[in-house]
């Protein structure tokens, strides 16, 4: 399984959240867009440009699948709210699980794999 370096998430506050609550949903593309953005920004802050670039490529692919810039503008309020919820949850395990699930979904997407092969 593809794993992003844990140091990226050291920037997020760590704590405990209700383990029974399913706050983050990898079947929601907005949730995946948010976690890819968080991972890209975190990677930049800890000088991991390759990881930042990979997360940006993943976010770009996701946006293109759903309507590009128009979709990003449409979901911006929702994505900001999701980001706030992630920060407030203080749940590193849930955040990493969401990242892993979103990455796994893209890795299983033939369109994403075809694009990776062309690069």
pLDDT of residue 31 exceeding 80, the answer is yes
99 CB contacts (<8 Å, ≥6 apart)? 4, 35, 36, 39
Q: What is the CB neighbour count within 10 angstroms for residue 98?
A: 24
Residue 72 lies in a domain: yes
| Number of separate domains in the chain | 1
CA-to-CA distance for 64 and 45, rounded, in angstroms? 26
Note the pLDDT of residue 119.
62
Helices (H) and strands (E) counted in the chain, each on its own, are: 5, 0
Residue 59 lies in a domain: yes
Residue 9 lies in a domain: no
Note the pLDDT of residue 65.
94
Residue 109 lies in a domain: yes
Residue 68 lies in a domain: yes
Confidence of residue 8 (pLDDT cuts 50, 70, 90): very low
Residue 52 lies in a domain: yes
- Which SS3 state, helix, strand or coil, does residue 68 take? coil
Confidence of residue 38 (pLDDT cuts 50, 70, 90): very high
CA-to-CA distance for 51 and 60, rounded, in angstroms? 14
Residue 3 lies in a domain: no
CB 86 within 8 A of CB 95: yes
């Amino acid at each position: 399984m593809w794993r992003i370096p844990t140091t990226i998430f050291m920037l997020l506050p760590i704590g405990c959240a209700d383990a029974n609550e399913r706050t983050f949903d990898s079947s929601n593309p907005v949730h995946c867009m948010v976690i890819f953005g968080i991972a890209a920004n975190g990677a930049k802050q800890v000088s991991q440009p390759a990881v930042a670039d990979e997360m940006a490529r993943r976010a770009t692919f996701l946006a293109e699948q759903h309507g590009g810039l128009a979709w990003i503008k449409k979901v911006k309020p929702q994505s900001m709210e999701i980001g706030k919820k992630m920060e407030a949850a203080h749940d590193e395990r849930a955040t990493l699980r969401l990242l892993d699930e979103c990455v796994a979904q893209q890795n299983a997407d033939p369109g994403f794999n075809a694009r990776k092969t062309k690069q």
